[in-house]
Amino acid sequence: MREICINHIDAFTTKRFAGNPAGVVLNAECLSTQEMQQITNELNLSETVFLLPPQTVENDFRVKYFTPKEEIDFCGHATVALTWLVATEMGLAQAKHGIVLETNIGNIPVTWDIKDGNINSVEMTQAAPKTKDISVDLDKLSRLLRIEKDAFDLNYPLKLANTGNWHLLIPLKNDILIDKADPDLAALDTFNKKYGVSTTHLYTFNTKQDCDLYTRDFAPSVGIAEDPVTGSANGALAGLLYYEKIISQNEPTRLIIGQGHKVERPGTLYVTITPNGTEPIIKVAGAAIVTIKGVLHL
């Protein structure tokens, strides 16, 4: 019998039972892909990340991400959770300023911020953002999301964006309307698969929460009804806002994004967008906290 140490970590929060929970499995080189999927199903969290030895000497680790349904190329909150654990419990914060992770979308650098001897947050540099147009009927979207057609805020872009996974980014007029959304998940699953997107991500600048942007994220096509706090989708959103000139293309912009309030798991992401030629550098930061540690018997 093999014993596998598992960790349950709440990401993008400093409080237990908030933010987005991720499963983290260190020393996963002894596991097959099938076992990783089975462990993810057993933990039954939106994503579980597995730490493996690197395939190239210039990187520190290789990682694989799974939802209860399938392997995915990238997951922001699981990256934050994993890096938090590596920096604290593996003690790397005393030896290094950060690490580089090999993923299916390329290398992801992650650093940590230390304050008064303790880690304050970790920050990942996401893949270069990409965007593309989508032609979609607003009447159909309103039926999918079960919101009124006049809830859409067409002063902002409704497009696809990607910093690792494709997301459909939909602007609504305020956070109240975002919280009223009650998607037809079966129909949204079909819709997302048709357009090759991982999630449907609602956003607004008009919020009473203590943040610049308020968002919600739905991902039935990868087995997640609603993702509480989404690092990859909010990174993609930042890239879209940059390309659409909603934020500055001349100097760095820092955004605070709030998510998870509707599902009573509020979390906070700190996103920095830095101009860099034709492609901005997107960095997403947040804190994390360990809530459960245990041993899985195989």
Neighbouring C-alpha atoms within 13 Å toward the C-beta of 160: 14
CA 52 to chain centre: 20
Out of 29, 47, 89, 102, pick the active-site residue. Answer: 47
Q: Which of 26, 19, 14, 63 is nearest to 45 (CA)?
A: 19
Measured between alpha carbons, how far is 36 from 27 in angstroms, rounded to an integer?
A: 12
Measured between alpha carbons, how far is 107 from 109 in angstroms, rounded to an integer?
A: 6
Tokens matching residue 165: 């996974």
DSSP 53-85: --SSTT-SEEEEEE-SS-EES--HHHHHHHHHH
Q: Which uninterrupted H or E stretch holds 201?
A: strand 199-204
Determine whether 47 is an active site residue: yes
Query: What residues act catalytically?
Result: 47
